[in-house]
Chains A and B, each alone.
Chain A
Amino acid sequence: MEGLLLPSVFTWKQIVNYININKIQTLPPHNIKTGEQKTSNYRISNPSFCASGGVPEGFCPKIAHYIDKVMRIIEKGGFFAEFIALDVLGMMGPRTVQAFLRNRDELGHLNYKAGTEEAIREVFSGPSFFIIPMTFLALSGKIFGSASKISVNTLREMKGVAKSAVENTSDGKQIVNEFYSGIVKHLYGDKLSETEHKNMTAAFEKLHNAHMDPGPPKKVGGFFKTIAAFFKKPPTEKVETAHKELINMLVAKNKEIGDDAARGISLADSSRIKFFGKKPQSIENIIEDCKNYSTDVLKTLVTDTAGNSKSKLLERISKNKIRARIGITTSAILTLSAFLYYIPYMYKQNKEFPGIDGLTEQPANDNNTAVKKRVA
């Protein structure tokens, strides 16, 4: 597995520990592979990280076993593990190496110009595709509130549910409960008994309350944990417990229902259900959207003491969130496009294309200092 040589700076144990920290989405895994693979995004009941078994007898089974172990580490490692394995070691690294070795025989030394250009090009082109949107999303959360992280169509639909919740309650404090009751009804409808409906709504509300009052922060120790905590705070014990409980409940209900095409429930992938869209979404995404909405929009509604009409306030907030969302996403794509457009200016340090250095005579007029000196 040539492509998976790891830098000698880090030991396997450190990497494995780092991967284990990120089990509960401290870093967002998103890529073309995991988007396709991770049809089951919950990781609580089946820790398949250690599940590749004891080492078997025989050469081929042994090879298969070790490949299995490595691939599980990559999948469990989430985004960074896949980025390193696929993009850095599989693409950026080989291309840069080849650029440095380009025309080495003719030049008599490494082609530093071509190598540097290639390195700059790859380092800026590749990661920008995810760093820029991620940065915009994070900024959007900080500036416009967590509800602006939800997609526009979902925001519109959630507004409908929130509107019903506001109209059905006289006491502002019950808005969150009514909202989640509406969400649960939308997800499962008549598939739930009254008790199950109440329990599920209570579980959602418990998670909402845990996010509103997270409790003492988790202590992080170790090099990788501290770095991960810099990017995103690890969830507190209270939030983690409530999150697990809710996911377990939803997945168990899906398994109990089995197959229901109308609701997007299938035993083949019990971690998905239709939310507000044509295709089933993963339960983790749904919970994340709901949490983002309730801890932002509903919190404002509940804590508003100015005596405004809650319906009007909801209308105003929803408009602002949708506008913010549209602004953020279009700005992200435009910024990404502009950045990509200017990357060639960054790596074109040499006037001539260095790929043909060594194949032709060196240009004598890369700069005109010699000529200038003569004239002076």
Chain B
Amino acid sequence: MIINAVNSSHNIKRNSNPKNAFGGIKEKVIDFCDINQKGSISRFAFVSVAATFLLGARYFQARNADEKREVFTRDFSAVVAAVYAIPILRKFIGKYINSQGIPIAYGKEEKSTKEEKGLLNTIKKYWSKINPENGVKIVSYDQLSDWFSVKSTDEFNKIHKGFTGFCENISKIGGNLAKCFKILGHSEFADKKMDNAKILEEINNLQGDKLITLQKLFVRDEHGMNNLLRKASHSKSLVEAGCIIATAALLGWGLPGFNIWYTRKLYKDGDKKQEKTPPKNITAPVNRPQIKTLNNNSMTEKFKNFQATL
């Protein structure tokens, strides 16, 4: 089962004015079948095709009830876990780490402005909160490097609002500036228990050597890191490694192992009825017509009797 083939960053523009019902269906089919430049299909298309043709085919072509049960418990669960459960887990871990002050995930939550009642709308509302395609996603190492470090202090001049803009960005993505500066070695903001807004105000008013001192904290060392970036990078790596191990443990060992154990248990405990037909015993009497005696001298009769024995 491939976990890699789903593109979660699909950019689908819905045709808001389909000419007619067929136009609407055509657009939906076009969106469904869309392949991005890298050759991956959308998450929804992946789940639909996998559930119907991959798992459905395995299930209905299974040779016995054991195989059917195993397909259901192992493969259905694997697809759902790979496509939804693990990304959802990653999303919530990313959110949690963001809340600790050094963000590693970014994304905008798309909230519906309408407050509609009804079961379907409630489900939609909660689904939009946990949907891994909506909201924060753990970013790449390059992006972390952009957020928390610079090659030299000159780079601040190329950013909108300079150093203040750089720090404001960290604040916007959920960072705790006091904590970030403390990790970099400047604990004044943390000691004074200043919040992000006050820190930004103070930074905005800084000039000269004081400003340069703070700016230099973010410059990357000879290894391409600073303490803040290192901490963020390690957080991300541990989360990612944990997710890989969890994926391998669940989908590679856990689910198949459970199936094997459960099938053995069913047979060992003797609860399972033998579903096989008994092997054909060639010595068992077949259903033959009554063989007549061969006292009749008629050759035709003899031949008929001989035929009956076949």
> Which residues of A are at the interface with B, using a C-beta cutoff of 8 A?
1-3, 28-43, 45-48, 50-54, 64-65, 67-68, 70-72, 74-76, 79, 82-83, 85-87, 89-95, 98-99, 102-103, 122, 125-130, 133-134, 136-137, 149, 151-153, 252, 255-259, 267-271, 275-279, 281-282, 285, 288-289, 326, 329-330, 332-333, 336-338, 340-345, 348, 351-353, 355-356, 359-361, 363-365, 370-371, 374-375
Q: Looking at the complex, which of B114-122, B250-258, B293-301 is the stretch in contact with chain A?
A: B250-258
- Are A67 and B34 closer than 8 Å at their CB atoms? no
CA distance A306 to B216 in the complex (A): 63
The closest CB in chain A to the CB of B9 belongs to A35
- Are A40 and B142 closer than 8 Å at their CB atoms? yes
- Are B238 and A256 closer than 8 Å at their CB atoms? no
Does B204 belong to the interface (CB within 8 Å)? no
Complex interface: chain A residues within 8 A of B240 (CB): 33, 71, 74
Complex interface: chain B residues within 8 A of A271 (CB): 143
Distance to closest chain B CB from A16 (angstroms): 16
Complex interface: chain B residues within 8 A of A337 (CB): 49, 52-53
- Are A352 and B64 closer than 8 Å at their CB atoms? yes
CA distance A364 to B46 in the complex (A): 41
- Are A151 and B34 closer than 8 Å at their CB atoms? yes
Residue from B1, B35, B151, B248 within 8 A of A45 (CB atoms): B151
CA distance A340 to B97 in the complex (A): 39
CA distance A103 to B41 in the complex (A): 38
Residue from B1, B38, B41, B172 within 8 A of A28 (CB atoms): B38
A68 with B39, Cβ < 8 A, contacts A40-B140, A94-B248, A353-B62 known:
no
- Are A355 and B145 closer than 8 Å at their CB atoms? no
Does B58 belong to the interface (CB within 8 Å)? yes
A sample of 20 inter-chain contacts (CB < 8 A) reads: A28-B37, A33-B4, A36-B8, A36-B87, A37-B137, A48-B145, A52-B233, A64-B234, A67-B237, A72-B237, A79-B4, A86-B3, A86-B244, A91-B248, A103-B264, A133-B39, A153-B12, A267-B169, A269-B139, A288-B37
- Are B37 and A258 closer than 8 Å at their CB atoms? no
- Are A129 and B5 closer than 8 Å at their CB atoms? yes
A67 with B57, Cβ < 8 A, contacts A255-B158, A256-B160 known:
no
Distance to closest chain A CB from B113 (angstroms): 15
- Are A125 and B280 closer than 8 Å at their CB atoms? no
A348 with B8, Cβ < 8 A, contacts A336-B49, A355-B67 known:
no
A87 with B2, Cβ < 8 A, contacts A36-B90, A38-B140, A40-B140 known:
yes
Quick one: CB contact mask for B118-157 with A, threshold 8 Å, 1 for yes? 0000000000000010000111111111110001000000
Residue from A2, A68, A102, A269 within 8 A of B234 (CB atoms): A68
Range for the number of chain B residues in contact with chain A = 35 or more
Task: A95-B256, A134-B39, A363-B276 given; name 4 further pairs at CB < 8 Å.
Answer: A64-B238, A71-B240, A267-B165, A355-B263
Does B194 belong to the interface (CB within 8 Å)? no
- Are B139 and A102 closer than 8 Å at their CB atoms? no
The closest CB in chain B to the CB of A76 belongs to B141
- Are A329 and B4 closer than 8 Å at their CB atoms? no
CA distance A369 to B279 in the complex (A): 14
- Are B224 and A47 closer than 8 Å at their CB atoms? yes
Complex interface: chain A residues within 8 A of B169 (CB): 267-268
Distance to closest chain B CB from A318 (angstroms): 15
- Are B238 and A31 closer than 8 Å at their CB atoms? no
- Are B37 and A125 closer than 8 Å at their CB atoms? no
CA distance A152 to B224 in the complex (A): 41
Residue from A35, A259, A269, A278 within 8 A of B8 (CB atoms): A35
Complex interface: chain A residues within 8 A of B50 (CB): 129, 340
- Are B160 and A258 closer than 8 Å at their CB atoms? yes
- Are A276 and B13 closer than 8 Å at their CB atoms? yes
Residue from A31, A45, A255 within 8 A of B40 (CB atoms): A31
Task: Pick from A31, A47, A126, A348 the residue with the most CB of B within 10 Å.
Answer: A31
CA distance A361 to B2 in the complex (A): 35
A359 with B139, Cβ < 8 A, contacts A46-B145, A257-B160, A268-B173 known:
no
Distance to closest chain A CB from B270 (angstroms): 11
- Are B7 and A30 closer than 8 Å at their CB atoms? yes
Task: Pick from B11, B230, B238 the residue with the most CB of A within 10 Å.
Answer: B11
CA distance A237 to B270 in the complex (A): 70
Distance to closest chain B CB from A51 (angstroms): 3
A329 with B34, Cβ < 8 A, contacts A28-B39, A90-B244, A277-B11 known:
yes
A90 with B251, Cβ < 8 A, contacts A32-B43, A67-B237 known:
yes
Complex interface: chain A residues within 8 A of B39 (CB): 28, 30, 130, 133-134, 137
CA distance A126 to B43 in the complex (A): 15
Task: Pick from B50, B142, B158, B241 the residue with the most CB of A within 10 Å.
Answer: B142
Complex interface: chain A residues within 8 A of B142 (CB): 40, 42-43, 46, 48
Task: Pick from A136, A268, A340 the residue with the most CB of B within 10 Å.
Answer: A268
The closest CB in chain B to the CB of A27 belongs to B38
